Chains A and B, each alone.
Chain A
Amino acid sequence: MKHLRRFLMRFARVFTNSRAEADLEREIAAHLRLLEDEYLSQGMTPEEARRAARRAYGGVEQAKQLHRNERSYQGVTQTIQDIRYTLRQLRKSPGFTVTAILMLALGIGATTAIFSIFVGVLLRPLPFPDPDRLVAVGDILEGSGSAFRDQSRVTAPDIRNYMRDTRSFSNLGGYQGMGFELSGIGDPTAVQATRMSGEVFAALRVAPLVGRAFTQEEDEQHQPVAVLSYGMWRNRFQGDAEILGRKILLDRKPYTVIGVMPQNFEFPLMPGHLNHSELWVPLSLSPEEFMAGSAAAWSLRMIGRLRPGISKEQAHSDAERVAEETMRNYPAFMRSLRIHAVVTPLHEDTVEQARPLVRTLFLAVVVILLIACANLAGLLLVRSIRRRKEIAVRLALGARAATLLRQAIVESLVLSVAGGAVGLALAAVALRVGVSLLPETLPRIREIGLDWPVVGFALGLALLTGLVCGLAPAFAAIRTSVNETLKDSGRTGTSGSGHARLRSALVVTEIAVALVLLTASGLLLRSFERMRSVDIGFRPDHTLAAFYVLPEKQYASQTVIDAFSDELLRDLRQLPGVEAAGITSLLPAAGNDFGLAFTLEGYVPPKGAGLNMAAMSLVQGDPLQALGIRLLRGRLFTEADKAGSPLVAIVNRKLAQHYWPDQDPIGKRLRRGMPETATPWMTVVGEVDDVKLGSPDGETAQQVYQPVTQMVASEGVFASAGELSANYGYIVLRSVLPPEQMENLLRATVRKIDPQLPLHQMQTMEHAISGSEAPRRFNTVLISSFAVVAVLLSVLGIYSIIAFAAALREQEMALRMALGCQRSGVLTLILTSGMKLAAVGCVLGLIGAMAASRLLRSFLFGVSPFDPVVLTLSAVAMLVLALTACALPARRAARTDPMVALRGE
């Protein structure tokens, strides 16, 4: 207790030091006076009394020092004095102070903003209890290429088998994202939902905010219950307190609301801002999903919680055993399929794809910070060289090196902490504005924000920066040789040459790292340009698209569905200005390509080849004409290609060239499934141009088009009984009118046929393309703006160093001119010294850029990381900028009047 009290007092005294000092002074004076009075009364003369009093008291200064040591923490007191001294010094040179703080604020702010993304997306544990035990379980299908996008998938029978036969999971369940039409509350709208096993809630261990989650039993009994997200409950139901037991219509089927999840609950953890699940319903696998066609559709996913004490490896071998059993029981038509079980930690499964992007951004921003640091170190160094005289005098008067060192470091710490504070504010602003601009490929966006670890990181970064930047000039200061400096009165020529090498090293480093970033940005810009010039295979102008799903309840038979489609197409064609209208199951640039396996006539796959996967578009009406996809050979579909007529297909160029190189694909035949699958042949009647289904920089898929009316027939015996087709699709509309005007016409047309049917994702094709380009645009814009900042900072750095060096050499230059050197000679001299540094920096930078190429390669498109044009241009740009930065001080030096300069000191 007494020690705590004393600690607080001593600490507090640090801040009331001057008052305590005055009090002590007064007390000692009083004491001495009393002693003097005593001696006077003993009959001494005043002079003798004063001396005797002093003697009796002992050393006044020693007593004071003892008192000070006892009273407060001297280290702290001195540091505070240093800080006050620094603040006074900094106030005297506001230009330097503001530059240094802003530079650091920029570096630290940018780094902090990106770091908060880094933490939110990659590092923070998933928002579930005990998240390390959560795993994604599923299959990797051999030969499916990149169709699974590095995430394991499962089929409906897989879910049953894994749930029934594995022993390593305390909870394991399947799920699948889906869209619903929500009605029965306000206007019908499209909502994002997830159907999932009751076990999934148990695995996630998140309790509902209101009500309860559904159980595995309810799932298996096909209970029509729904759990709402917090946002859904708040926005659509106005936070209705009586929500439990309310009936809602999903695809016009009644469901009972049994619970609401808490605000921060999100599952599945989808990338981007959209696509977050707004409600959850039981998975309730239907019998059809276990039959022929669907049994081979890897369209679901699984999540599980590892049983305590079971490792990921044990769980994997357990799952592999079940997968082998599953394969043994495959029906004949799936015999050739090989699957492997995979068990991936959920965290990895969620963030794996975002890792390279976030890591690259982080490195880019660290480069900026490095440059800012180098600049600050350079500025501080220049400052300490300017103060050489002052430092030398202080050293001569007995200042200790440790004191000078401490002051130098305190100065840079004060700057860096101020910079850190401003940077933190910048980062907060940037995040508020920037999160909405993040690309849709980034998961866990909601978790990005400035929290304590991030703030701590920023402050730690500021301290570290201050220490590192302060060290070089600090040691330069204490290495000041008193004699040399005091003797060196300038007439001898160049002063302050001692730290020239350190200054040069700083400039060279800055130029090198800035160049690395500049080349990266150049390569990305070129990739972007390449992407923009890719032939996407269709004409996006004047085209409007919208997605719909017909609810099963109302559209229970093929006749009703076909009636809807026919009426829709007929009405659309009659709209003013419409050139072509159609419906397709796959929309270019929408990024939802879905691979199907095909068998092609006359094609013998090489040994070990995977499945022949192609993207299947089911079409009605004229979507190919509406999208402006070019016909290369043969014909497009006509009204005559309908159910019951001979099966036909159109293929794209890529597929034709891959399977039938140098042959006419017209008249060739292909069918759905693997060779052992007995499906009927379809005859190729046309070949069309390749179309980008995803982003323009993505792979071109092999594509097959088929009239949707022939889908069921082409599935042969594998079509499930009563299977419906054509109950969903993208409406595409080409018109001479601006697509924005068409939107209302399209809505009105659909509403006339079915007033309740919502249209999803209504957009122009130009908009769809720009959406598919967004991730690349994001990378490019961000890295390029970092590069611009880096280049500006390094140019500023080189300018300040060269200007300072030129100022130091003013006398030398004057002497040269007095001895007959031309002004142009002086100009060249200064420029050359700057260009030497820039050239060395560029060479190092180019080497660095090549070393960084491996990191960048995955972000490039159509450009080699060693692209000579980009490398040369960046290096030249850097040199030119450096030259410009040197030109100003060089011209100033050349204009020096030799007489004035020589008289100067």
Chain B
Amino acid sequence: MTSKEQEPLQLLQGTLDLIVLRTLVSMGAQHAYQIATRLQQISDSLLNLNQGTLYPALVRLEQYGWIKGAWGKTENNREAKYYEITKAGQKALGEETQKWRRMAALVERVLIEES
């Protein structure tokens, strides 16, 4: 049982977007590397994904108008592209969170009935 739990999780469709938005809300403007690090932290390295896979989500969210990217400097004076959540992004996060909660509750209920 334990060995199975150790296997990396596959991300569900749309959850990556949600996580990125959430991260940006709680941490403020972040660059891709920070977001990736944060993802690993909060998932206790369960989500072992290549950092490059983050990019499509970033471009998608930017095109939705939910986040906005701008070039800046890190504390070590390295350049990096910082992403910031927009007003529309915050609103969308609220809606998406609601949706996700309802979905999760539904799945939970189904699983309880099954067992």
**Cα(A24)–Cα(B74), bound, Å:** 18
Nearest-CB distance from B93 to chain A (Å)? 13
B65 and A5 contacting across the interface, CB-CB below 8 Å: yes
Nearest-CB distance from A154 to chain B (Å)? 71
0/1 string, A40-70, CB within 8 A of B gives 1: 0000000000000000111110110011011
CB-CB under 8 A from A31, the residues of chain B are: 31-33, 51, 80
CB-CB under 8 A from B53, the residues of chain A are: 58, 63, 66
CB-CB under 8 A from B33, the residues of chain A are: 31, 34-35
Nearest-CB distance from B7 to chain A (Å)? 18
CB-CB under 8 A from B14, the residues of chain A are: none
Nearest-CB distance from B30 to chain A (Å)? 12
CB-CB under 8 A from A777, the residues of chain B are: none
B63 within 8 A of A: yes
Of A6, A24, A60, which is in contact with the most chain B CB atoms at under 10 Å from its CB? A6
Which of B50, B59, B81 touches A70 (beta carbons < 8 Å)? B59
**Cα(A761)–Cα(B74), bound, Å:** 93
User: Do A30 and B52 form a contact, CB below 8 Å, given A67-B59, A70-B60?
Assistant: no
User: Do A70 and B78 form a contact, CB below 8 Å, given A34-B33, A58-B50?
Assistant: no
Nearest-CB distance from A404 to chain B (Å)? 30
A30 and B50 contacting across the interface, CB-CB below 8 Å: no
Interface of chain A: mostly helix, strand, loop or mixed? helix
CB-CB under 8 A from B74, the residues of chain A are: 34
B59 and A34 contacting across the interface, CB-CB below 8 Å: no
**Cα(A63)–Cα(B76), bound, Å:** 26
CB-CB under 8 A from B66, the residues of chain A are: 2
User: Do A10 and B51 form a contact, CB below 8 Å, given A35-B33, A37-B78, A69-B56?
Assistant: no
User: Do A6 and B64 form a contact, CB below 8 Å, given A30-B81, A34-B31, A34-B78?
Assistant: yes
Nearest-CB distance from A253 to chain B (Å)? 76
User: Do A30 and B31 form a contact, CB below 8 Å, given A63-B52, A67-B55?
Assistant: yes
B52 and A70 contacting across the interface, CB-CB below 8 Å: no
Which of A26, A33, A63 touches B55 (beta carbons < 8 Å)? A63
Instruction: Tell me the nearest residue of chain A to B54, going by C-beta.
Output: A63
B52 and A59 contacting across the interface, CB-CB below 8 Å: yes
A37 and B76 contacting across the interface, CB-CB below 8 Å: yes
B79 within 8 A of A: yes
Nearest-CB distance from A751 to chain B (Å)? 83
B56 and A30 contacting across the interface, CB-CB below 8 Å: no
**Cα(A740)–Cα(B94), bound, Å:** 93
B80 and A34 contacting across the interface, CB-CB below 8 Å: yes
**Cα(A785)–Cα(B4), bound, Å:** 84
Nearest-CB distance from A30 to chain B (Å)? 5
0/1 string, A190-201, CB within 8 A of B gives 1: 000000000000
User: Do A6 and B63 form a contact, CB below 8 Å, given A34-B33, A35-B33, A37-B76?
Assistant: yes
Tell me the chain A residues, 49-100 only, with Cβ under 8 Å from chain B. Answer: 56-60, 62-63, 66-67, 69-71
**Cα(A59)–Cα(B51), bound, Å:** 9
CB-CB under 8 A from A26, the residues of chain B are: 79, 81
A737 within 8 A of B: no
B64 and A35 contacting across the interface, CB-CB below 8 Å: no
CB-CB under 8 A from A57, the residues of chain B are: 50-52
Instruction: Tell me the nearest residue of chain B to A20, going by C-beta.
Output: B59
**Cα(A492)–Cα(B81), bound, Å:** 61
User: Do A9 and B51 form a contact, CB below 8 Å, given A66-B56, A67-B56?
Assistant: no
**Cα(A62)–Cα(B55), bound, Å:** 11
CB-CB under 8 A from A10, the residues of chain B are: 63
Instruction: Tell me the nearest residue of chain B to A71, going by C-beta.
Output: B59
Which of B51, B55, B79, B81 touches A66 (beta carbons < 8 Å)? B55
Nearest-CB distance from A29 to chain B (Å)? 9
**Cα(A58)–Cα(B80), bound, Å:** 19
Instruction: Tell me the nearest residue of chain B to A41, going by C-beta.
Output: B76
Instruction: Tell me the nearest residue of chain B to A27, going by C-beta.
Output: B81
Instruction: Tell me the nearest residue of chain B to A24, going by C-beta.
Output: B55
Instruction: Tell me the nearest residue of chain A to B80, going by C-beta.
Output: A30
Contact-residue size bin, chain B (C-beta under 8 Å from the other chain): 20 to 34
0/1 string, A502-515, CB within 8 A of B gives 1: 00000000000000
CB-CB under 8 A from B80, the residues of chain A are: 30-31, 34
A30 and B79 contacting across the interface, CB-CB below 8 Å: yes
**Cα(A169)–Cα(B49), bound, Å:** 79
B78 and A33 contacting across the interface, CB-CB below 8 Å: yes
Nearest-CB distance from A528 to chain B (Å)? 68
Tell me the chain B residues, 35-90 only, with Cβ under 8 Å from chain A. Answer: 49-53, 55-56, 59-60, 63-66, 74, 76, 78-81
CB-CB under 8 A from A63, the residues of chain B are: 50, 52-53, 55
User: Do A2 and B32 form a contact, CB below 8 Å, given A30-B79, A34-B80, A57-B52?
Assistant: no
CB-CB under 8 A from B55, the residues of chain A are: 24, 27-28, 63, 66-67, 70
Nearest-CB distance from B75 to chain A (Å)? 11
**Cα(A35)–Cα(B52), bound, Å:** 12
Instruction: Tell me the nearest residue of chain B to A67, going by C-beta.
Output: B55
Tell me the chain A residues, 1-21 only, with Cβ under 8 Å from chain B. Answer: 2, 5-6, 9-10
Nearest-CB distance from A606 to chain B (Å)? 88
Nearest-CB distance from A196 to chain B (Å)? 65
**Cα(A67)–Cα(B80), bound, Å:** 17
**Cα(A67)–Cα(B59), bound, Å:** 7
Which of B32, B64, B79, B81 touches A5 (beta carbons < 8 Å)? B64
Of B55, B60, B78, which is in contact with the most chain A CB atoms at under 10 Å from its CB? B55
**Cα(A59)–Cα(B53), bound, Å:** 9
CB-CB under 8 A from A58, the residues of chain B are: 49-53
CB-CB under 8 A from A30, the residues of chain B are: 31, 78-81
Of B31, B32, B59, B79, which is in contact with the most chain A CB atoms at under 10 Å from its CB? B59
**Cα(A67)–Cα(B74), bound, Å:** 24
A35 and B56 contacting across the interface, CB-CB below 8 Å: no
Nearest-CB distance from B15 to chain A (Å)? 16
Instruction: Tell me the nearest residue of chain A to B55, going by C-beta.
Output: A67
CB-CB under 8 A from A2, the residues of chain B are: 64-66, 92
**Cα(A793)–Cα(B77), bound, Å:** 69
**Cα(A743)–Cα(B78), bound, Å:** 98
**Cα(A37)–Cα(B76), bound, Å:** 9
User: Do A56 and B51 form a contact, CB below 8 Å, given A27-B32, A30-B78, A31-B33?
Assistant: yes
**Cα(A67)–Cα(B78), bound, Å:** 23
**Cα(A33)–Cα(B76), bound, Å:** 11
**Cα(A67)–Cα(B69), bound, Å:** 15
A9 and B63 contacting across the interface, CB-CB below 8 Å: yes
CB-CB under 8 A from B52, the residues of chain A are: 28, 57-60, 62-63, 66
Instruction: Tell me the nearest residue of chain A to B32, going by C-beta.
Output: A31
Which of A5, A24, A69 touches B63 (beta carbons < 8 Å)? A5
Nearest-CB distance from A18 to chain B (Å)? 16
Instruction: Tell me the nearest residue of chain A to B76, going by C-beta.
Output: A37
Instruction: Tell me the nearest residue of chain B to A55, going by C-beta.
Output: B50
CB-CB under 8 A from B51, the residues of chain A are: 31, 35, 56-58
CB-CB under 8 A from B59, the residues of chain A are: 67, 70-71
**Cα(A10)–Cα(B56), bound, Å:** 13
**Cα(A27)–Cα(B80), bound, Å:** 7
**Cα(A559)–Cα(B63), bound, Å:** 95
CB-CB under 8 A from A60, the residues of chain B are: 52
**Cα(A57)–Cα(B50), bound, Å:** 5
**Cα(A478)–Cα(B32), bound, Å:** 44
Tell me the chain B residues, 16-43 only, with Cβ under 8 Å from chain A. Answer: 31-33
Nearest-CB distance from B41 to chain A (Å)? 13
Instruction: Tell me the nearest residue of chain A to B79, going by C-beta.
Output: A30
**Cα(A728)–Cα(B58), bound, Å:** 90
Nearest-CB distance from A52 to chain B (Å)? 12
CB-CB under 8 A from B78, the residues of chain A are: 30, 33-34, 37
Of B31, B49, B51, which is in contact with the most chain A CB atoms at under 10 Å from its CB? B51
Nearest 9 CB-CB pairs, A to B?
A: A58-B50, A63-B52, A70-B56, A58-B52, A9-B63, A34-B33, A6-B63, A67-B55, A66-B56
Question: Would you give 9 A-B contacts (Cβ < 8 Å), ordered by A?
Answer: A2-B64, A2-B66, A34-B74, A58-B51, A59-B50, A60-B52, A66-B53, A67-B56, A71-B63
Q: Other CB < 8 Å A-B pairs besides A2-B65, A59-B50, 4 of them?
A: A2-B66, A57-B50, A66-B52, A66-B55
